[in-house]
Structure 1
Amino acid sequence: MKFMSRRARRRTKRRSRIVRTAAWTAVAVFTAIAAGGGLVYVRLAGAHESPNVDAALGDDRPARTVAGALNVLLLGSDSRVGENGEYGKDLGDARSDTAMLVHLARGRSKAVVVSVPRDTMVDRPDCPLPGGGTSRAEGPVMFNTAYTVGGLICAVKTVEQLAGVRVDHVLDVDFTGFKKVVDAVGGVRISLDKPIHDPYSHLDLDSGSQRLNGEQALGLVRTRHGVGDGSDLGRIRLQQQFMTALATELKDASLLADPLKLYRLVNAVAGATTTDKQLSSPSALFGLAHSLTGLKPGDIDFRTLPVVPSPRDPNRVVVKQSEAALLWRAVNDDTAPPARQEQAQHG
C-alpha cells in the first residue's frame, strides 16, 4: 500500500505537470493571435506595472453582454526604449503599432480577431492620464495616438467608444518580446506568393516557403512599403497570415513533450508584456490559459475593421460605418461575423 501510495502521488504530480504544461501551451497559441510586435505571453517575471483599467475608466463603459464571452485588446507598441533602441531613436511617444480586438466566444470554441488599422481616423475621447489629470477629447485623429496620449487605458477607452464593445482585458508587447518568442519556438515557416524587399524594415525575402527567425519575422509584420500599395491594410494581411503560421508552429512544436522548451519559450519574452491589473494575477492568467486548451488555429477568424479612404487625406482611412456596425454587433452578441467584404485600398 505504501508503494501504491507513492505511485499515486507520482501520477498526481505527473497529471499536475501535464495540466500546467497544457495551460502554458494554450497561452502560447493564444499569443499567435497578436501581430506586428503584438505577441502576448504569460510572464514568469514581469517588469512593467499593470494599470488598473477598470478603476480608471469607472462605470461609463459599454455593458458586458454575453456571459462567458471575453474581449481582449492586444497591442503591439513601437517603443524604442531599452533593447528596442535598435529600431530607432526613443522620442518618448510610443504608439500602438498594432491593435487587435480578440473576441473569445462563450465556450472558447471560436475566436474572432478584428484588426484596427492604425491610420484609422477616429474621435479620441478624453482619457485619464497615468500621471494624473485628464487628456482632452480630440478628433478626427489617428487611432494609434490614443496609446501615445494615455497608454493602455486610453487605447481601451478609444476602442470601446469606436466599437461600442466592452474590453475585458488588455495586453501590450514590444518588438523585442515578439522576436524572442519566434526564436524560442525555432522560427516560423511561412509561404510568400511574391518576394518582399523593403529597406525600411530591413527585409529581404524570396517568394515560396521559408523559415523566418525572430528578426525576419519582425520585419515581415512591420513592413508596409514591401507589399501592396504600402498601406496599413496590406501589412495587416501579412500580419494575419504570419500569426496563423505561428499558431500552427506552436501547435506542432511538441511543447507538451518538451517542458524545458516550453519554459524557454515563455521565459524568452519575460518583461516585455504589460497587462491590465485584473489579468496580472497568476489565477487570472491560468484561468484564461486553461479556458483556451481546445482552441485551434483553424478556429480563429481574422477580420479587419471595414474602412474606406479618408476624403480629407488618401493616406488615412475612415470607418465604413454600415459594415463595421454589423461586425461589432456580432462581437457584442457572440454570434458569427458577417460575410467578408473586400477592403478598399488607400495611400
Structure 2
Amino acid sequence: MPERTGHRPRPSASGRWLPLLRAATWAVSAALLLGCGTTWYAYRSLTHGLTTSDALDAVRAKAPRHLDNSVDLLLVGLDSRKDMNGDDLPRQFVQTELHAGSSDIGYYNTNTLILMHIPADGGKVQAFSIPRDDYVRTLNGDGSVQGHFKIKEAYANAYTTAHDRYARQGVEGADLEARSREAGREATLATVQQFTGVPIDHFAEVNLLGFYDIAKVLQPITVCLRKPVRDRYSGADFPAGVQRLNARQALAFVRQRHGLDAGDLDRTRRQQAFISTVTHQLKSEGVWGSPAKLRGLLDVVKKDVVLDDSWNVLDFAQEAPDLTGGNVVFHTLPIEGFGIRNREDVNLVDPDKIRSIVSQAFGTAAAPSPTPSGSATATVDIVNGNGGRGLASAALSSLTALGFTAGTTGNTAPQPTTTVRYGPGAQQAAQRVAGLLHADTTTAGPAVPAGHVAVTLGGDYTHPGGTTPTPSPSSSSTTSADSGPAVKAGGVPCVD
C-alpha cells in the first residue's frame, strides 16, 4: 500500500483557477440579471401608461416605399379643447390659461402638421410645416376619398363620420371617443402621405392642453421676436427681442396669426422656432441624459400625447440629442395663392410641385401623383365660364401632360365657381381633375358621355401653378406665395 502522509495532493493549475472562474461567472450572471432587471424596471416605469395608437397599420400598405433606412416623423397638433375622453376642458381654464375661447371652438382640426425626415446616415434633418389651410384632396384611412377640403379638416371629417357610425352601434363614452379619434388619425396620415408622396414611419399627436402642460414642465422658455406684437385673439403681448415665457405665454406665442404680415405662414415659423428652442433647452439643461428629468417630461407625455405603438420612445430619447445641435432645418411648404372654396378662405397648392420639393429635400425618389384607376384614359372637355379667353385650352394642356386625353374646349355663360361633372366610369378621374384645378366637388352628369369629364371654369378659377392669387382676409394683407425663410434649429431663432 502506498505510504500515507499528512499532505494533500497539490492541485493542478486548472484546478486552482476553477473556483475563481465559477465565482466570476456567478458574479457576471448576477450583474447581467440585475442589469436586465433594472433596465426592464426603468423601461416599464418610464413607458408604462403611454397612450398609443395603431393608426399607422391602416395606411402602411398604401404608403410609398423607403429607398433606405431613413425615418419620417409626423408631428400633429390638434386644435381640440377636450381631454383624452372627449370631455370639455374647464371653461375658466380654457379662457384664462389657454386663451382659446370656448371648448366649442377648434373641434378636431389639425392646426399643426410638421413632417420631419431623419436621414439614414445621420445627416441634416429636414422638416416641413404643412400650412393648415392648404386645399387638398383628403382621404380616409382606407384610402377612400373624402373630397376636397383644407388639409386640417381630414381628421375632423373622419372623426365625425366614425363618431356617428359607432354611436348608432351603441358605442359610448371613452370608447366612442377613442375609436372616433383613431379614424381621424388614420385619415390625417393617409392624406399627408398622399399629399407629400413620402411614407410616415412614426407620429405624435398633442392637443392644446398637452402643449400647455409640456410648456409648463419646461418653463421659462426663451423666444426671440424681431418686433413687438399684441393680439387680443391669442393673448400674445410681447416686446421685441429675447424674452422668457411661461406656459400661458408660450401657447399665445405659437397660436398668434392675427397682426402678422403673413398670417398663418408666420405662425408656422413661430411653431418651428418654438420646437428649435425647446430641443436646444432640453439639451443644454441635460434632460436627455437625466432619468429623473426625463421621467418628469414623460409623465406629461403619458397624460397628453398620443404616439404610434411602434415608436420606442427610449431609443428616440437616446438619439434625440443628435437633433438638437443645429442639425435640423425647418421649411414651410409653398402655396400658389389664396382662394375661396366651400365658402372658406383656403391656400391654393400644386400637389405635383409639393411632392417634388419634399422628395428633393428628403433625398428620395419623387412618388408619382396618385392616379386613380381609369384616370389616364379619361377624356376631359373644358369650357370657359369666367369670361377669360384661352384658359380652357391652357387648363386642358396641363391635364394632358399628366396623362389625360384631350377633349373639346369652348366658352359658355359666366358662372361663379368651377364645376366638374363626370360620365359613367369617370368618377375617380373627375376627383383627380377637381384636385388639380382646385374645384370644390364633383357630380355625375347625365349628359356627359362615358369615360368623359366635363369641366366649366368659373370666376374662382386659378390656373395650376398660380396666376392671380386673391388675398385672404384671415392671412392679413399678404398675397405672396413665398413660404418664407427656413428656420434653423440649434438655438433661439428670431422670428416675426
**What TM-score do the two structures reach when normalised by structure 2?**
0.54
2:219 counterpart SS class: coil
Shift of 1:156: 0.6
Separation in structure 2 between the aligned mates of residue 272 and residue 135 of structure 1, nearest angstrom: 30
In the TM superposition, what are the counterparts of 1:220-235 in structure 2 within 5 Å?
A: 220-229=253-262, 231-235=263-267
In the TM superposition, what are the counterparts of 1:38-49 in structure 2 within 5 Å?
A: 44-46=48-50, 48=51
Runs of at least 5 residues in structure 2 that lack an aligned partner in the other structure: 1-19, 95-99, 159-183, 366-480, 485-496
Shift of 1:181: 1.8
The aligned residue for residue 316 of structure 2 is 288
The aligned residue for residue 251 of structure 2 is 218
The aligned residue for residue 325 of structure 1 is 355
In the TM superposition, what are the counterparts of 1:262-273 in structure 2 within 5 Å?
A: 262-273=294-305
Shift of 1:49: 5.2
- Which residue of the other structure, out of 275, 278, 287, is the alignment partner of 1:255? 287
Query: What is the identity, as a one-letter code, of the residue corresponding to 2:138?
Result: R
Cα distance change on mapping 1:213 and 1:162 into 2, 3 Å = same
Cα distance change on mapping 1:322 and 1:51 into 2, 3 Å = closer
Shift of 1:104: 0.9
**What TM-score do the two structures reach when normalised by structure 1?**
0.75
The aligned residue for residue 147 of structure 2 is 138
Runs of at least 5 residues in structure 1 that lack an aligned partner in the other structure: 22-41, 129-133, 336-340
The aligned residue for residue 305 of structure 1 is 333
Q: Which moved more, 1:88-97 or 1:74-83?
A: 88-97
Query: What is the identity, as a one-letter code, of the residue corresponding to 1:69?
Result: S
In the TM superposition, what are the counterparts of 1:38-187 in structure 2 within 5 Å?
A: 44-46=48-50, 48=51, 50-54=53-57, 56-57=58-59, 59-62=61-64, 64-82=65-83, 84-85=89-90, 86=94, 87=100, 88-90=102-104, 93-128=107-142, 136-139=145-148, 141-150=149-158, 151-187=184-220
Separation in structure 1 between the aligned mates of residue 329 and residue 204 of structure 2, nearest angstrom: 19
Residue pair 2:197, 2:355 contacting (<8 A) in 1 also: no
Residue pair 1:43, 1:267 contacting (<8 A) in 2 also: no
The aligned residue for residue 232 of structure 2 is 199
- Which residue of the other structure, out of 462, 469, 483, is the alignment partner of 1:343? 483
Q: Which moved more, 1:154-163 or 1:319-328?
A: 319-328
Shift of 1:199: 0.9
Number of equivalent positions: 302
1:316 counterpart SS class: strand
**Identity score, percent:** 27
Shift of 1:144: 0.4
Residue pair 1:135, 1:149 contacting (<8 A) in 2 also: no
Residue deviations 1:43-100 (CA, integer Å, cap 9, x gap): 5523x4513422x2362332x2222101111100011113745132246931101001
Separation in structure 2 between the aligned mates of residue 207 and residue 298 of structure 1, nearest angstrom: 24
The aligned residue for residue 473 of structure 2 is none
Shift of 1:135: 6.4
Shift of 1:200: 0.8
Shift of 1:108: 3.0
Residue pair 1:43, 1:271 contacting (<8 A) in 2 also: no
Answer with 1 or 2: which has the greater Rg: 2
Separation in structure 1 between the aligned mates of residue 325 and residue 274 of structure 2, nearest angstrom: 12
In the TM superposition, what are the counterparts of 1:21-36 in structure 2 within 5 Å?
A: none
Query: What is the identity, as a one-letter code, of the residue corresponding to 1:285?
Result: V
1:343 counterpart SS class: coil
Shift of 1:289: 3.3
Query: What is the identity, as a one-letter code, of the residue corresponding to 1:343?
Result: S
Shift of 1:332: 5.0
Cα distance change on mapping 1:43 and 1:148 into 2, 3 Å = farther
Query: What is the identity, as a one-letter code, of the residue corresponding to 2:147?
Result: E
Separation in structure 1 between the aligned mates of residue 52 and residue 286 of structure 2, nearest angstrom: 33
Separation in structure 2 between the aligned mates of residue 58 and residue 182 of structure 1, nearest angstrom: 32
Shift of 1:205: 1.3
The aligned residue for residue 346 of structure 2 is 316
Shift of 1:121: 0.3
Query: What is the identity, as a one-letter code, of the residue corresponding to 1:330?
Result: Q
The aligned residue for residue 33 of structure 1 is none
Cα distance change on mapping 1:257 and 1:120 into 2, 3 Å = closer
Please tell me the root mean square deviation across aligned C-alpha atoms, in Å.
3.4
Query: What is the identity, as a one-letter code, of the residue corresponding to 2:334?
Result: P
Separation in structure 1 between the aligned mates of residue 324 and residue 363 of structure 2, nearest angstrom: 22
Residue deviations 1:248-291 (CA, integer Å, cap 9, x gap): 11111132665433321221332211122323xxxx33333334
